[in-house]
Amino acid sequence: SRITTFCNFGYVALTIKHVTIYDVGNYTCRAYNKIGQDQTSAQLSVISKTDIIYDSQHPQGLEKIQNLEDTSRYTRQIQEENELIQKPRFLGPLKGTNKIVEGQRAHFEARVEPQSDLTMIIEWYHNGKILSAANRIQTYHDFGYVSIDILQVRAEDAGTYTVVARNRAGEAHLQGIMTVETRSSIDTTSMHRGTYEKTQRLEDAKFTEPQYHIEEISKSKPIFIQPLSDPKPVSEGKNIHLECRLEPMGDPTMRVEWFHNGRPVTVGSRFRTYYDFGFVALDIVHAIALDSGEYTVRATNHLGSAHTSACVRVIDKSDILTDTQNEQSLEQIQMLEDSSKYRRHIQEDVTVLQPPQFTRPLHNIETVELTNVHLECRLQPVSDATMKVDWFVNGRPVTTGHRFRPSYEFDYVALDILGAYPEDSGVYTCQARNQLGEAVTSCSVRVHAKQQLFLESQHPEGLERIQYLEDASRYKKREIVDEFVNVKPKFITAPKNQENLREGQHAHFECKLEPVTDSNLKVEWFKNGRPVTI
């Protein structure tokens, strides 16, 4: 990738990127063919940089590094070990959480001596069973400090906790008791105390009726000018609508209430009430049997009250409907499911006693292109298993397929032609034959063609352009015969010497060569007599 060569149409070049002192030398370009060869050379010289700078550029930094790297400062001094074996001793009681609520974090800690004893082992016990450090239980021991943390305390974590310190001289232990207050399964306390208290104050406050100038607004007591009327009995699942008219209309103090058998109606998804400008209504959506009863609407203002009632009856449906809801459909289904109609009757071979006869012949048809054509006739006898039916058009058999579909069942004989074309016009013949003879019926089918296709070009200039582009002779490959050159290679120009290049710069040699059109000419580069590796 650092050395690249190029040779094209007599131009020859060699490029060396980021030259080093190892690239110095004599570069030779050699060209040869069957007739002979020629070569040209150029020199490359490179001024090298100093490889390593031995003098320090920062004397103070060098002194600091030497001081840090001075191994004599860290020499391990071998001293006689005076082993002082001391029995473990705790410096005080086991401090920690004696009473805690379930879900909180428990902590116990203590101090132990000797602090520098590397052989000391610390163990924790819960009700006499050893505790192992885990995700929820974390133990700690460092320089005489001993502790244990229990995360997300549970009810079963209550009990006696013991810490034991042990070495070769003996052991010591401390104990502590922890009780856990369990929470109830469902937390009924409020998580937002301030909001809860405010809600209680709003709910405890008594509703105060707004004060109106009643003398000016209400001038009469409520009167139902159109009372409720009893609706017709309905079956379960239907909707019920009750409505009436009330006066006075513009009374803001008027209060309208609905009752079902003396109990207030709870407004919800199935019970919807309306009161607007004297119009009072109640809608019951998807009524059930329990909605049956007396419905009463009561209107009240400061001058008096009025009420009107209506009786609603909902016909109960059984859980499973066993009676048919459509008699005609049931009869049709029973007739279709009557297996006796489809029983296979074992009969002896029937002797054919009648030749074929068309009781209804074919009829002539005249239609438009791309419409469907249906030819139909009736044939006797019906129960002839040897009967064979064939279709012909203009004396030739009709080829059945996607567009031509014949059918023959019982006495029904038909031929359907899908998407008829003018070419389908002609005389269609249906031939039926059995052992006693044959019968034929014919009809004429005429299909009128739609507007014919325009075969002549509507744009002569465009057609000529297309024919010109589609002319294959313009794209025929021309066989080119290689031109044989009988000339010896010769360098017209020589590469220039590259002198005093600094390391890291690019070196470029180029020259010109003849003959230009010799396909058999080969060019090679050499450095100090050895081929240049690309």
Residues 366 and 443 in one domain: yes
Residues 386 and 433 in one domain: yes
Q: Say what percent of the chain tops pLDDT 70.
A: 87
Residue with tokens 């159109």: 226
Q: Give the integer Cα–Cα distance in Å for 310 and 261.
A: 10
Most confident of 65-79, 384-398, 483-497: 384-398
- pLDDT on residue 350: 54
The answer to whether the CB of 109 falls within 8 A of the CB of 146 is yes
What is the CA 332 to chain-centroid distance, rounded? 48
- Residue 481 CB partners (closer than 8 Å, separation 6+): none
Q: How much is the mean pLDDT over the chain?
A: 86
Asked, for residue 151, whether it belongs to a domain, the answer is: yes
- Residue 166 CB partners (closer than 8 Å, separation 6+): 88, 120, 121, 123
In terms of Cα–Cα distance, which of 308, 207, 301 is closest to 252?
301
pLDDT mean over 463-490: 75
Residues 38 and 102 in one domain: no
| Residue where a domain stops, chosen among 152, 181, 210 | 181
Q: Could you give the 3-state DSSP secondary structure of residue 334? A: helix
Asked, for residue 362, whether it belongs to a domain, the answer is: yes
Asked, for residue 160, whether it belongs to a domain, the answer is: yes
293 or 343, higher pLDDT: 293
- Residue 453 burial (10 A CB sphere; 0-12, 13-18, 19+): exposed
Q: Give all strands (DSSP E) within 461-515, no chain letters.
A: 490-493, 498-502, 507-514
Q: Give all strands (DSSP E) within 3-113, no chain letters.
A: 3-8, 11-16, 25-32, 37-47, 89-90, 95-96, 99-101, 106-113
pLDDT mean over 253-260: 92
pLDDT mean over 335-358: 69
Q: Give the integer Cα–Cα distance in Å for 376 and 356.
A: 16
Q: Which of 105-109, 307-311, 478-482 has the lowest mean pLDDT?
A: 478-482
Q: Can you give the residue range of the structural domain that contains 8?
A: 1-46
Residues 363 and 297 in one domain: no
Helix (H) or strand (E) holding 468: helix 460-469
- pLDDT on residue 210: 62
Asked, for residue 331, whether it belongs to a domain, the answer is: no
Q: Say what percent of the chain tops pLDDT 90.
A: 50
Asked, for residue 100, whether it belongs to a domain, the answer is: yes
* 387-427 residue pLDDT tens: 999 999 999 999 888 899 999 998 899 999 999 999 999 99
134 or 221, higher pLDDT: 221
| Residue where a domain stops, chosen among 262, 287, 315 | 315
* 20-37 residue pLDDT tens: 998 999 999 999 998 899
pLDDT mean over 127-150: 90
The answer to whether the CB of 420 falls within 8 A of the CB of 399 is no
81 or 398, higher pLDDT: 398
Most confident of 145-154, 185-194, 203-212: 145-154
In terms of Cα–Cα distance, which of 243, 242, 227, 220 is closest to 305?
220
- pLDDT on residue 80: 43
Q: Give the integer Cα–Cα distance in Å for 221 and 35.
A: 133
Taken as a whole, the chain contains a residue count of: 534
Residue type, 310: A
Q: Could you give the 3-state DSSP secondary structure of residue 21? A: helix
* 234-248 residue pLDDT tens: 999 899 999 999 998
CATH number at residue 289: 2.60.40.10
Confidence of residue 82 (pLDDT cuts 50, 70, 90): very low
Strand partners, 366: 446
What's the pTM? 0.26
Asked, for residue 210, whether it belongs to a domain, the answer is: no
Residue with tokens 């070419």: 423
285 or 217, higher pLDDT: 285
Q: Which of 77-86, 216-225, 317-326, 438-447 has the lowest mean pLDDT?
A: 77-86
If one counts the domains in the chain, the total is: 5
H helix count then E strand count, the chain: 5, 38
- pLDDT on residue 227: 93
Asked, for residue 412, whether it belongs to a domain, the answer is: yes
- pLDDT on residue 453: 62
Asked, for residue 126, whether it belongs to a domain, the answer is: yes
Residues 173 and 232 in one domain: no
Confidence of residue 81 (pLDDT cuts 50, 70, 90): very low
| Residue where a domain stops, chosen among 260, 291, 315 | 315
Q: Give the integer Cα–Cα distance in Å for 312 and 509.
A: 111
Residues 292 and 362 in one domain: no
